[in-house]
Amino acid sequence: MDGLEVKTEKSFFEKSIMARNKKIEISVIIVNYNVRDFLSQCLHSVKKAAKGIPSEIIVVDNASDDGSAEMVRKKYPDVKLILNNENLGFAKANNIALKEAKGQFLLLLNPDTILQEDTIRVMLGFMKTRREVGLAGCKIINPDGSFDYACRRSFPTPWIAFTKITGLSKLFPKTELFGKYNLTYLSTEETYPVDAVSGSFMMVRREVLKEVGGLDERFFMYGEDLDWCYRIKKAGWQIYYVHSTQIIHYRGQSTKRSNIDEIKAFYEAMRIFVEKHYKSSLIFLFLLKLSIKFLSILKFLAFALRPLRFAIVDFFVVTLSLLIGKLIRTGTIFHFPEYAYVAVFTVPALIVITSLYIAGVYTHRYMSISRSITATFVSYVIISALVAFFKQYAFSRVIIIISGFVSLVLVPGWRILIRIFGRRKDTAGGGLIEKRTLIVGTNKEAKELCKKLKMRVDKGYDLIGFIGNTHKDIGKSLNGVKVLGSLENIGKVIREQKITDVIFAPKSLNYTQMLSIIGKCKDQPVSFNIVPSTLDVVVGGALVDSLNDVPLISINYNINKPFHVFTKRLFDILMSVILLVLVYPILWLLTFGNINRRTSWLRMLPLVLKGEMSMVGPPVESKVADKKDALNLGKPGLFGLPQLQRNGSLSKMEINQYNIYYARNQSLLLDFEILVKSLLKYRRYRKMEKMK
């Protein structure tokens, strides 16, 4: 079966072998996908390295939309350009170029590489003097100057695959037993035979191509180089790592501009390789598939449990606050009743952590001060209620009060310290900054927004980069900030850069595009905001950030967020009980039971207690055609912004604007403010009635 496959692969090229031009010594083949600027650098270095050598350069473009083809035509008109209508993958695109190539030697080169001036000459000299060598690769270094171990590798035998997957190769890199995959136990400053080299630089003889054929097109990305090397060695040729010349490889620039999951693609390529060349080893194949599944689960858990570190800090902070409360109250630390230790050192901390989670502190706003204060306050209200209910734990309410005050300082306090001292100059890192921000758009409005964000340091926006509408602007620098990706791979950029906030610049996208992006990224812990050209409501409240004259308006309404639903319901229950018990009887006596239109809200307090209405919300008579829209604006309220403004002159549009503004910016503080103003307004009305 293997022999049949090889025959099929090589027959693809046999028809073109006779037509090759022997005058061309080397054909340089580059497959490009949306890395225009890297390609330009690469071609410039290739032209220099090939100076004086009969050569040809072939660029195969896999349907890039970043202007790569236009750049090649304009700057390098002598380069042969092959355009594909879709992304065919690395193997298939290279095979197309290999069919057209006429060189005696063939160099497969990645577009995100830069060659030394002597690279092609040194490698050609090596291949000419070592006739037994069918394929060779040179020394490859990363942009930071470190050695790229992928430029020399061993084939993944069962043991080598095990050491790679389990991480033993990283734990013991200098040991031959564990370091065989990347040959980390060998010197980088020597030339020697290897099993395989990196696909980013592979120089091969035409005779080898004729004998074994081209790349296996079943490998879309990764693995095709390893498979090619395996077949070449199997045919009796040697493969060498050559240390005497080097290139720089920026690694994975094309994949960064796509939605391809590199880890998944790598292990899928390994699976295909094993099924093709180790099909007799069923146990190895089973274990490899099991390992791939296990690693994917580990990757998911690592992402899901990322907020755990913050929860652990908060757990110890709350526990510390209880000990401080105990010390202040009794002069001792651990002098609790024996039965109470487990509850004391777990329940309060878990209640605080749960509230912080519901508030979105562990999912959206790791460093949020306001949310951590609010959640901690609500937590201690719940803890106090539990202590009152379970008498056996009510050994000192004073300890709970002191602990509450200490937690209200320490829970937001450590976040304040990290925000002050934890900022990194290197914004590409994964620091604990509150708002790691992307701007969607590269137009003049986006640039202006960038300037304003930079000026408003107090708002906590750490500008990580821009997202362009297409790949054309990737790599460019706008106002000192790089364009990191396009709309196609925004989810990947958000994930890799640990973005917390995405801001859509004015005129960058239409609303359909915005909502499409939000839908695609719904499972990621990120907040989306827009900067409107004009405001559609009166702005002057809590959750609208003003950057001089540019407000950032949250797309998601607070009224439906879990934390706001939870705290608003608690507020409704608490206030309705207080008003029913304390205010209702007094007002009834003062009015002699004559509850008029101005005080009719008192009759609706039981509805608030039952959850059918809210203390604050849209007017009861606000009619919304769509029931779903009505839910988005919250439950009908006894009080609200329209009720405060009502003087008989508000239009339906104005009432809707007030309702939308409230739904968007709802908070306990805003509810309390509206409630107090409403009661004060009633008091003023009573005074006017008396004067009459």
Structural domains in the chain, sorted by start:
2-153+194-258 (3.90.550.10), 308-421 (no CATH), 435-556 (3.40.50.720), 562-691 (no CATH)
Dihedral sign (CA 550, 555, 559, 562)? negative
560-576 residues labelled b (16+ CB within 10 A) or e (exposed) = ebebbeebbeebbeebb
Alpha helices per DSSP H over 251-346: 253-256, 262-277, 282-304, 308-330, 341-344
Closest CA to 614 of 556, 571, 661, 669: 571
What single-letter amino acid sits at 316? F
Q: Mean pLDDT in runs of 10 for the chain (692 residues)?
A: 40 48 85 87 90 95 88 93 88 92 95 89 96 94 79 82 77 86 89 92 95 81 81 93 89 52 60 68 71 69 72 91 86 76 85 87 75 86 81 73 88 78 41 69 86 64 85 82 87 85 80 66 73 36 42 62 82 82 66 54 82 86 46 77 64 74 79 76 57 51
Q: Which pLDDT value is given to residue 99?
A: 92
| Per-residue model confidence (pLDDT) at position 124 | 97
391 CB contacts (<8 Å, ≥6 apart)?
none
Burial 46-80 (b: 16+ CB within 10 A, else e): bbebbeeeebbbbbbbbebebbbbebbeeebeebb
pLDDT at 142: 80
Question: 133 - beta bridge partners?
Answer: 238
Q: What is the pLDDT of residue 427?
A: 36
The whole-number pLDDT of residue 20 equals: 47
For residue 37, give the amino acid letter.
D
DSSP string for residues in 355-403: HHHHTTTTTT-TT-HHHHHHHHHHHHHHHHHHHHH-GGG-S-HHHHHHH
* pLDDT value of position 663: 82
Long-range contact set of residues 214-217: C-beta below 8 Å, sequence gap at least 24: 214/9, 214/10, 214/12, 214/13, 214/91, 214/94, 214/95, 214/98, 214/99, 215/9, 215/90, 215/91, 215/92, 215/94, 215/95, 216/5, 216/9, 216/91, 216/276, 217/89, 217/91, 217/92, 217/95
Whole-number CA gyration radius for the chain:
34
Distance CA 496, CA 428 (A): 10
The whole model's pTM is what? 0.52
| Res 625: pLDDT | 39
The pLDDT score that the predictor gives to residue 60 is: 95
How far apart are the C-alpha atoms of 568 and 357, rounded to whole Å?
16
The neighbour count for residue 530, using CB atoms within 10 Å, is: 20
Contact yes or no for 157/259 (Cβ under 8 A)? no
Cα 415 from Cα 308, distance rounded (Å):
15
Task: List 204's β-bridge partners, or say none.
Answer: 106, 135
Cβ–Cβ < 8 Å for 81, 72: yes
CB neighbour list of residue 400: distance below 8 Å, 6 or more residues apart = 325, 380, 383, 384, 387
The residues pairing with 177 across neighbouring beta strands, listed in sequence order, are: none
Residue 210: predicted pLDDT: 93
Question: Which pLDDT does position 239 carry in this prediction?
Answer: 96
The two tokens of residue 445 are 């409005």
What is the pLDDT, as a whole number, of residue 434?
A: 56
SS3 524: coil
Q: Is the dihedral of CA 101, 102, 103, 105 positive or negative?
A: positive
pLDDT, position 12: 45
- Whole-number Å distance between alpha carbons of 208 and 236: 10
CA distance 29 to 41: 15
